[in-house]
């Protein structure tokens, strides 16, 4: 069994993933902001669950927008569990609105949370993983980097940056025996708080100039839900199960990328071709060894 840190565990996929992994016998540290404040009730739920089901499940504070917080969280895991085997990079936030109306501060803030936040956690965790010459980085990405729907511009950009950082980090991490897997969920409108908790653009004057498009934005979630295949249960638990299945795979046999998409958008085919093209390019550069996991 592994010692696993899950970021963004307060709701949705992160919450379900922490529960699923703990029930499978792993030592799980479910991290979130405001353990004793905004998320105190969720923290208490985890603690109660751990006691009721005798799970090795713990809640720790982690704000991905702070390097000190990431460093402290990872250090806490290692001190309490003796090691760290897996990091599930799940923390994220959603913006909905017109691209022009998002200020540079808006855009920078979202990229800071969704992409740089994962980099901060990597900077905290990688020294431990490098020292032990093993470990797994699991990134919860998104099919949105391919489907690119309207009215979600900053979110699309931030998830594209997140994916790119995961890929380029994998070249270097692999040389220390550290595996990378990117799990790409498709659109999910049930069982998560993404749309209800989404933020809007700060520049209300620019937003007003686009007001004739407001009816389209208003039915964004409805339109997304309409993409689901008939009879498909779009339960985010399926994504949590996929993450658990990836982690359960033997060392060296974990998939680099996997897609869980209830809309059947064909992203799995696009990414398979994209990754093959990327790998061929890296080989042509003479850096093929960075695609192989070092023992």
E strand intervals along 220-267: 257-260
pLDDT of residue 220: 82
pLDDT of residue 195: 61
Question: Could you tell me the residue range of the domain that residue 166 belongs to?
Answer: 3-291
What six digits make up the tokens of 294?
A: 């070092």
pLDDT of residue 193: 57
With a CB cutoff of 8 Å and minimum separation 6, the contacts of 139 are: 89, 118, 162, 163, 166, 180, 181, 182, 183
Q: For the chain, what is the domain count?
A: 1
In a structure prediction context, what are the per-residue pLDDT tens digits for the chain, which is 295 residues long? Answer: 999 999 999 999 999 999 999 999 999 999 999 999 999 999 999 999 999 999 999 999 999 999 999 999 999 999 999 999 999 999 999 999 999 999 999 999 999 999 999 999 999 999 999 999 999 999 999 999 999 999 999 999 999 999 999 999 999 999 999 999 999 999 887 755 566 678 888 999 999 999 999 999 988 878 888 888 777 777 899 999 999 999 999 999 999 999 999 898 999 999 999 999 999 999 999 999 999 999 8
CATH number, domain of 278, equals 3.40.50.720
Token pair 């990229």 is at which residue?
111
Token pair 């479910």 is at which residue?
30
pLDDT of residue 233: 76
* Among the listed residues 70, 143, 53, the one whose alpha carbon sits nearest the alpha carbon of residue 113: 70
pLDDT of residue 191: 57
Contact in structure between 269 and 49 (CB atoms under 8 Å): no
Question: How far, in whole angstroms, is CA 279 from its chain's centroid?
Answer: 23
């Amino acid at each position: 069994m592994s010692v696993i840190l899950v970021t963004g565990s307060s709701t949705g996929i992160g919450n379900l993933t922490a529960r699923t992994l703990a029930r499978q016998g792993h030592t799980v540290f479910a991290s979130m902001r405001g353990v004793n404040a905004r998320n105190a009730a969720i923290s208490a739920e985890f603690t109660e669950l751990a006691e009721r089901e005798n799970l090795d499940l713990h809640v720790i504070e982690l704000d991905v927008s702070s390097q000190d917080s990431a460093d402290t969280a990872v250090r806490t895991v290692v001190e309490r569990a003796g090691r760290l085997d897996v990091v599930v990079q799940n923390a994220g936030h959603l913006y909905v609105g017109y691209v022009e109306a998002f200020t540079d501060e808006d855009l920078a803030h979202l990229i800071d949370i969704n992409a740089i936040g994962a980099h901060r956690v990597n900077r905290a965790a990688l020294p431990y993983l490098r020292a032990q010459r093993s470990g797994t980085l699991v990134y919860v990405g998104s099919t949105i980097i391919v489907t690119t729907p309207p009215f979600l511009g900053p979110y699309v950009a931030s998830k594209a940056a997140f994916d790119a950082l995961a890929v380029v980090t994998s070249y270097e991490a692999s040389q220390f025996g550290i595996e990378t897997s990117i799990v790409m969920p498709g659109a999910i409108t049930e069982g998560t708080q993404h749309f209800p908790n989404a933020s809007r653009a700060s520049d209300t004057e620019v937003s007003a100039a686009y007001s004739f498009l407001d009816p389209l934005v208003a039915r964004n979630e409805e339109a997304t839900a309409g993409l689901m295949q008939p009879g498909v249960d779009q339960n985010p638990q399926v994504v949590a199960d996929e993450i658990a299945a990836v982690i359960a795979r033997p060392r060296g046999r974990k998939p680099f990328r996997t897609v869980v998409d209830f809309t059947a958008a064909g992203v799995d085919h696009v990414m398979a071709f994209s990754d093959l093209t990327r790998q061929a390019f890296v080989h042509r550069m003479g850096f093929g060894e960075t695609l192989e996991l070092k023992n």
